[in-house]
Structure 1
Amino acid sequence: MLHENVRQIAVAFELAGIGTIIIGAIYSTGKYLKHYFNKDPEGYRKYRSGMGNAILLGLELLVAGDIIGTVAVEPTYQNLGVLGLIVLIRTFLSWSLSVEIHGRWPWQENNKDLKE
């Protein structure tokens, strides 16, 4: 019973991650079209940033779902190894997206904020 409830929570996190990416993509595209038709030269940069942030948040929720799901199932060494690999790949993707969006590593100071 408890395992089934935990598994449902894991599925809810995974669905929330997928939904976040889809809704973020739709929202970012809508904002981009608004900027495009208003001839905003920063529109594409804002679009990429919005899309990247939606993907980052979605990946975080998917990782949480994977962790919860692995704990709900028998935590064998094989399952933990697969989970570790999934988390490693998604963390690399998150860091890559963060560098692409912000132009710096996640642990570096944001010089832009310091100047303001």
Structure 2
Amino acid sequence: MEFGTVITTVGEVIDVLGVAAIVVGVLYALADAAIRRVRRMGPVYARFRRVLGRGILVGLELLVAADIIRTVAVTPTIESVSVLALIVVIRTFLSWSLEVEISGRWPWQKARAGAVEADDDTAAVAAERV
């Protein structure tokens, strides 16, 4: 089997996995929301959006990986790399937008926010000891 054919097949398999991840994420989010609604467990909508967004993010990451594999390994022309760059920029923007929707802050703010929460916990423990 030729290298280009193998890489194209690998890219197509990863494409299918990306679409499957999105579909499974949607189905899981719907089932989780329905169960939480019936059992009256906490905020249904906020959790639904978070779970759905995570499923979409995983799918987008796989789709970007498949595009990179197929474009760079099989047909690395200026035109194909330019199209890939545009696709990656669009999907990256979508991923960041989803991340902001899910977490409520930019991805690079997580470490800082976690450090603030850790500092608050440390201060609370220190206050209890006094």
TM-score bucket (shorter structure): over 0.9
1:51-100 residue CA offsets vs partner (Å, 9 max, x unmatched): 00000000000000000010233211000000000000000000000000
Matching residue's letter, 1:98? E
**Aligned counterpart, 2:69:** 68
Cα RMSD (Å): 1.4
Alignment gaps of 5+ in structure 2: 122-130
- 8 Å Cα contact 1:49/1:101 also seen in 2: yes
Aligned equivalents of 1:62 and 1:52: distance in 2?
15
**Aligned counterpart, 2:93:** 92
Aligned equivalents of 1:3 and 1:71: distance in 2?
11
Following TM superposition, the consecutive aligned residue runs of length 4 or more in structure 1 with deviations greater than 3 angstroms are 112-116
Aligned equivalents of 1:51 and 1:37: distance in 2?
19
Is it true that 1:15 corresponds to 2:43 in the alignment? no
Give TM-score, length-normalised by structure 1.
0.93
Shift of 1:38: 1.5
Aligned equivalents of 2:96 and 2:41: distance in 1?
28
Is it true that 1:59 corresponds to 2:68 in the alignment? no
- 8 Å Cα contact 1:28/1:47 also seen in 2: yes
- 8 Å Cα contact 2:7/2:74 also seen in 1: no
Aligned equivalents of 1:74 and 1:27: distance in 2?
36
Greater Rg over alpha carbons, structure: 2
**Aligned counterpart, 2:84:** 83
Aligned equivalents of 2:79 and 2:106: distance in 1?
31
Aligned equivalents of 1:41 and 1:24: distance in 2?
20
- 8 Å Cα contact 1:4/1:72 also seen in 2: no
